Amino acid sequence: MNARLQNRDRAALYEAMSPFNLTPLWEVLHALVPREPNSPCVPAHWTYDQVRPFLMRAGEAITAEDAVRRVLILENPALRGQSAITQSLYAGLQLILPGEVAPSHRHTQSALRFVVEGSGAFTAVNGERTTMYPGDFIITPSWTWHDHGSEATGPVVWLDGLDIPMLRFFDAGFAENGTAAQQQVTKPEGHSFARYGANMLPLRYDAPNGATSPIFSYPYSRSREALEKLSRDQAIDEFDGVKLRYVNPATGGSPMPTIATFLQLLPRGFSGKPYRQTDGAVFSVVEGSGVATVSRGEQTWTFNVSPRDQFVVPSWYSLSLSANEDCVLFSFSDRPVQQAMGVWREERSM
């Protein structure tokens, strides 16, 4: 058939069937089923020195009560307006000032808090309160009442990570505001860690948070101690340094059903080999300084990172890490969902 006639026939076909909400697969097949991941996201780096002044200005512009959550969203530069740092994850920096309360609510989205600056604020989840210290990893399980407050003498800032875009994709988001600004505290501080955090479980374990870890606060002091000991006692991984994953002690799996969390130590002088993974990851620098080199094809991004900085590495972008001094990184990703679907993949360059 003449190519021009064929193209004309195709155009007529497309026009005729469009009112019936039909479209030809062959025109979009390669975009729908790519040879490899082709994320629309891009690598990005937020230096804390640049972000912090805007947080403090936000503290002057609106109260925590009026805002409900006073947060500056970390938007991926390629996803502006979508409140997303990757296609499946949300991230933001939340500020609370002395004496403030961020009122109680609950939602189906799972949330993590990773404390970036300050001590003495608290978060309460289902009747238990925990005081927040830098480097602590704290969970708000899906559909649990939670509020935040501060008895600190200065500002407290933490990184919020949620599966908001994921639940938006599934149209499964629900939320409810509490009737009181703060929930009643019914358990002593440290109760969940004492009950579930010593490699032991109650005899008749009842999974209080469903598939989410029964521990809702993982203290940085204990996690940091483990990294330090392992850095002395074992060989340093050529890609990750010393990297541990946080776990649900009841299952050994991720602490949240949709989000995996990690903590790693890069010893002074570490120069890591490049690797890539299908789970795009959000990083927060806890201690030390270093360089994150992200690449894809001919493009390369070089981030000189310092304490309290945040950066994101999209799916299937290559990452190599180096450290000028002992450097500790917290990170989170959607790996549990990809593993549950059987699609997670990693490639380590040797």
Q: Which residues pair with 311 in a beta bridge?
A: 45, 283
Tokens for 343?
């699609």
Is the CB of residue 281 less than 8 Å from the CB of residue 253? no
Closest by CA position to 122, among listed 142, 110, 138, 111: 138
The domains found in the chain, sorted by start residue, are 1-33 (no CATH), 34-348 (2.60.120.10)
User: How far is the C-alpha of 124 from the C-alpha of 193, rounded, in Å?
Assistant: 14
pLDDT at 350: 60
CA distance 183 to 104: 7
Cα 195 from Cα 214, distance rounded (Å): 9
Which among 297, 259, 307 is positioned nearest to 86, based on CA atoms?
259
According to the model, what pLDDT value does residue 189 have?
A: 92
Q: Which of 181, 159, 163, 182 minimizes the C-alpha distance to 172?
A: 163
Q: What is the pLDDT along the chain (350 residues), one digit of tens a residue?
A: 567 768 889 999 999 999 999 999 999 999 999 999 999 999 999 999 999 999 999 999 999 999 999 999 999 999 999 999 999 999 999 999 999 999 999 999 999 999 999 999 999 999 999 999 999 999 999 999 999 999 999 999 999 999 999 999 999 999 999 988 898 899 999 999 999 998 888 888 988 899 999 999 999 999 999 999 999 999 999 999 999 999 999 999 999 999 999 999 999 999 999 999 999 999 999 999 999 999 999 999 999 999 999 999 999 999 999 999 999 999 999 999 999 999 999 999 86
The pTM is what? 0.95
Q: What confidence score (pLDDT) does residue 259 get?
A: 98
CA–CA gap between residue 253 and residue 248 (Å, rounded): 6
Residue with tokens 């490699």: 199
DSSP classification of residue 108: S
CA 163 to CA 109: how far, in whole Å?
A: 6
Check if the beta carbon of residue 241 is closer than 8 Å to that of residue 270.
Answer: yes
- Residue 1 is predicted with a pLDDT of 56
How far apart CA 295 and CA 27 sit, in angstroms, is: 30
pLDDT of residue 174: 97
Cα separation, 177 vs 90, in Å, equals 21
Helix, strand, or coil (residue 166): helix
Residue 199 amino acid letter: N
The CA–CA distances, whole Å, from 241 to 187, 233, 269, 322, 326 equal 38, 13, 11, 9, 10
Q: What secondary structure does DSSP assign to 222-263, as a single string?
A: HHHHHHHHHHHHSPPBTTTBEEEE---TTTSS-SSSS-EEEE
Identify residue 18 by its one-letter amino acid code.
S
